Amino acid sequence: MSVAPVLTSIAAQADSLLAEQAPFVRPAIDWHAVAPELVLLFTGALVTIVDLIGLEKVRKIIPTLTSLTFLAALIPVITLWADNDELPRQMFDGAWVVDEYSLVLKGLFLLTGYIIVLISTNYMLEGDYYDSEYYQLISASIVGMLVMSSARDLVTIFVAIELVSIPAYLMAAWRKRDLRSNEAGLKYMLMGVFASSIMLYGMSLLYGTAGSTKLTDIGAVLSQGETRPMLTLAIVFTIIGFGFKVSAVPFHTWAPDTYEGAPTPLTAFLAVASKAAGFVALVSVVIYAFPGRADVVEPFIWVLSALTMTIGNLIAMRQTNIVRMLAYSGIAQAGYMLAPLAVFGDRPAQAQSAIVTYLVIYAAMNLGAFAVVIALARKTGSGEISSYGGTFNYAPGLTAAMTAFLFSLAGIPPVGGWFAKFEIFRILTDGGEPWGIALAVIAAVNSVLAAFYYLSIAKQMWFMPAPDGDDSPVVIPPTLQAALVITLIVTIVSGTVLVGQVSDLTDFAIQLP
Amino acid sequence: MFLNQFLLFAAALFCIGVYGVLTRKNGVLMLMSIELILNAVNINLVAFGAYTGTISGQVFALFVIAVAAAEVGVGLAIVLLIYRNRRSIDVSEADLLQG
């Protein structure tokens, strides 16, 4: 029996099946709107190819090339910002949105990436062995963050959050022969993957409820009717997934161990960029998809926020290692950043802008603090706070810079941090609800607690003698100097001369369904 | 439609997966338990997709499968790294960092 007639009949069936479907039409693509991601993707790929071809010869310039790719990707962000009348640009039926909110965040992520490369350069060059893949993984992770800022669809958000996290798992375990780095990577990877899977389960239930993965569609469906148990489960699971990414208590257990064991520049990356990406996802999902279910979201976030800031600060107080202390302080700061979402129901736009303001200022001050830690570790080779004595004698500039960053983290004027905290307190107390004011009181008590341990480091640096009596100066390489100068300038001006500009920059208009 | 059966099956798989992640001490078995959770998610997505008659559930499930493969690839690489350095993949023995 010949097979030809059978094949023909199969082909005929396939044709008739295809004919029933509407012909595929490619959705319109606004190339300008995706230009930042595409530029970073292609220049990043180009750097990889240069690295593969040049090998040893191009080693020294790979960090420079990588930082240039971030600046190149910043150009379309600026042109999109300049073309203000066109905003918001939408694609794929509103699943991809470029508005002022996403552009500010893209700028933030690209500049953070630039500074991370600056502080990594000498650390990686002088390490046990050189690996240029490190920079390519940072680029990949930053692409994920850029996608995250524009994503308004569960599938896109999921893919973006994984694109941010998977390179970070690898970078946490970067020092292959160091057991502590291995352990950091293992803990981060297991917790991260577990968190993603729980978040996905929540997302699948959200999709089942709304019949769509678009955030605004889900928001429209969720705004109607009663709160059903399945919806509560979906919302809680989704927020738990993001809670892991932003290291909110009780989902924070990976953070201090990973921060301590990972290479320090990567710790700065996790504490600033990766956490900011988690917040962006959380804010987008809560503001666009859950506005009608504030009755579920607000109490849950309230508890998370109060726990996160209190436990983060209490444990930070008894740390002796500066990196662990910064890890717990970062957890506490995440608690402040969560707070606006506990009262977002009546004023989502204000909550969004308060969180982005905090993220921008937090990025500058925390990166700066990590840059000082990396600079001092070049001399002391230790992360113990007790080894920070005498720095005023041999590194007065670094000491002054660290003091500015610590004051900013504690929220003491005139450096940037006070304005970030002020915005949080303002949104919490504006509505006059008792629970908002209660959370503001908890945050205020925590700010005092936090000032205690931040200032004890400043005291150690200014007044204590060097433990080994060694007062030789620290050599700071130019890249690290550049990172310090940029972060110091942003930290200082964001709290003084440019306060108005920062608040204008983060003043968004949002469209809700 | 028999949506309930699919959802209950997925919920059972999810619970087994979470139980496995929380109780197992072996790195590879923890990754396998996470795979169970992801499969529960896929069953949910496909069942909801068929129930609501929309395509995005199936598409989402494809993305989950692809990304889960990447996650497990990276996860096994890290577990292999631990095994090379310690000759053990018992997660509870990785306790250098504490506090």
Cis amide prior to A265 (ω within 30 degrees) = no
Name the packing angle between helices A478-493 and A396-410 (round to 10°): 40
- Does position B70 have pLDDT exceeding 70, yes or no? yes
B89 CB contacts (<8 Å, ≥6 apart)? B26, B27, B28, B79, B82, B83
Average the pLDDT over A94-118 and give the result: 91
Q: What are phi and psi of A74, to 5 degrees?
A: -70, -25
Q: How far is A165 from chain B (nearest CA, A)?
A: 9
- Does position B40 have pLDDT exceeding 90, yes or no? yes
For chain A, the average pLDDT equals 86
Evaluate whether A418 touches A410 at the Cβ level (below 8 Å).
no
Average the pLDDT over B14-42 and give the result: 92
Residue of A nearest to B43 (CA): A204
Q: What is the 3-state secondary structure (H, E, C) of A435-499?
A: HHHHHHHHHHHHHHHHHHHHHHHHHHHHHCCCCCCCCCCCCCCHHHHHHHHHHHHHHHHCCCCCH
Q: What are phi and psi of A2, to 5 degrees?
A: -85, 150
- Does position A17 have pLDDT exceeding 60, yes or no? no
- Does position B30 have pLDDT exceeding 80, yes or no? yes
Q: How far is A83 from chain B (nearest CA, A)?
A: 33
Which positions in chain A touch B51 (Cβ < 8 Å)? 208
Question: Do residue B79 and residue A186 have CB atoms under 8 angstroms apart?
Answer: yes
Cross-chain CB nearest to B27 (options A179, A186, A324): A186
Most confident by average pLDDT, A88-102, A266-280, A470-484: A266-280
What pLDDT is stored for residue A1 in this prediction?
47
Residues A189-222: tens digit of each pLDDT = 999 999 999 999 999 999 998 888 999 888 888 8
Tell me the pLDDT band of A509, cut-offs 50, 70 and 90: low
Cross-chain CB nearest to A186 (options B14, B70, B91): B91
CB atoms within 10 A of CB A314: 13
Cross-chain CB nearest to B97 (options A203, A205, A260): A260
Which positions in chain A touch B52 (Cβ < 8 Å)? 208, 211
Average the pLDDT over A122-126 and give the result: 77
What pLDDT is stored for residue B64 in this prediction?
94
What pLDDT is stored for residue A513 in this prediction?
47
CA within 13 Å, CB half, A384: 8
Question: Do residue B34 and residue A194 have CB atoms under 8 angstroms apart?
Answer: yes
Q: How far is B82 from chain A (nearest CA, A)?
A: 6
Q: Which residue has the tokens 């997660």?
A: B91
Cross-chain CB nearest to A182 (options B48, B74, B82): B82
- Does position B74 have pLDDT exceeding 90, yes or no? yes
Which positions in chain B touch A319 (Cβ < 8 Å)? 99
Question: Do residue B60 and residue A204 have CB atoms under 8 angstroms apart?
Answer: yes
Percentage of chain A modeled with pLDDT above 70? 94
Average the pLDDT over B68-78 and give the result: 92
Tell me the pLDDT band of A74, cut-offs 50, 70 and 90: very high
- Does position A506 have pLDDT exceeding 80, yes or no? no
What pLDDT is stored for residue A195 in this prediction?
92
Most confident by average pLDDT, A82-96, A143-157, A456-470: A143-157
- Does position A54 have pLDDT exceeding 60, yes or no? yes
Which positions in chain B touch A162 (Cβ < 8 Å)? 67, 70-71
Rg of chain A over all Cα atoms, to the nearest angstrom? 24
Fold category of B3-90 in CATH: Helix Hairpins (1.10.287)
Q: What are phi and psi of A98, to 5 degrees?
A: -110, 105
What pLDDT is stored for residue A63 in this prediction?
87
What pLDDT is stored for residue A130 in this prediction?
64
The token pair that represents A365 in the structure block: 């001050």
Which positions in chain B touch A185 (Cβ < 8 Å)? 78, 81
Q: How far is B30 from chain A (nearest CA, A)?
A: 8
Residues A422-468: tens digit of each pLDDT = 889 988 888 788 888 999 999 999 999 899 889 888 888 888 887 77
Q: How far is B56 from chain A (nearest CA, A)?
A: 7
Which positions in chain A touch B79 (Cβ < 8 Å)? 186
Average the pLDDT over A291-295 and give the result: 85
Cis amide prior to A434 (ω within 30 degrees) = no
What pLDDT is stored for residue A488 in this prediction?
92
Q: How far is A182 from chain B (nearest CA, A)?
A: 6
- Does position A14 have pLDDT exceeding 90, yes or no? no
Average the pLDDT over B26-42 and give the result: 92
| Cα–Cα distance, A345 to A430 (Å, whole number) | 13
Structure pTM?
Answer: 0.91
Q: How far is A191 from chain B (nearest CA, A)?
A: 10
Average the pLDDT over A17-43 and give the result: 81
What pLDDT is stored for residue A114 in this prediction?
93
Residue of B nearest to A161 (CA): B67
Q: Which residues pair with A479 in a beta bridge?
A: none
What pLDDT is stored for residue A201 in this prediction?
94
Which positions in chain A touch B69 (Cβ < 8 Å)? none
What ranges do the domains of chain A cover? Answer: 295-513
Average the pLDDT over A26-32 and give the result: 84
Quote the ipTM score: 0.94
Cross-chain CB nearest to B60 (options A173, A189, A207): A207
Cross-chain CB nearest to A190 (options B30, B45, B52): B30
Residue of B nearest to A230 (CA): B7
Per DSSP, the three-state class of B90 is: strand
What pLDDT is stored for residue A20 in this prediction?
60
Average the pLDDT over A27-44 and give the result: 89
Residues A215-242: tens digit of each pLDDT = 988 888 888 877 788 888 999 999 999 9
What pLDDT is stored for residue A123 in this prediction?
79
- Comparing B92 with A259, the larger pLDDT belongs to A259
CA A364 distance to own-chain centroid = 12
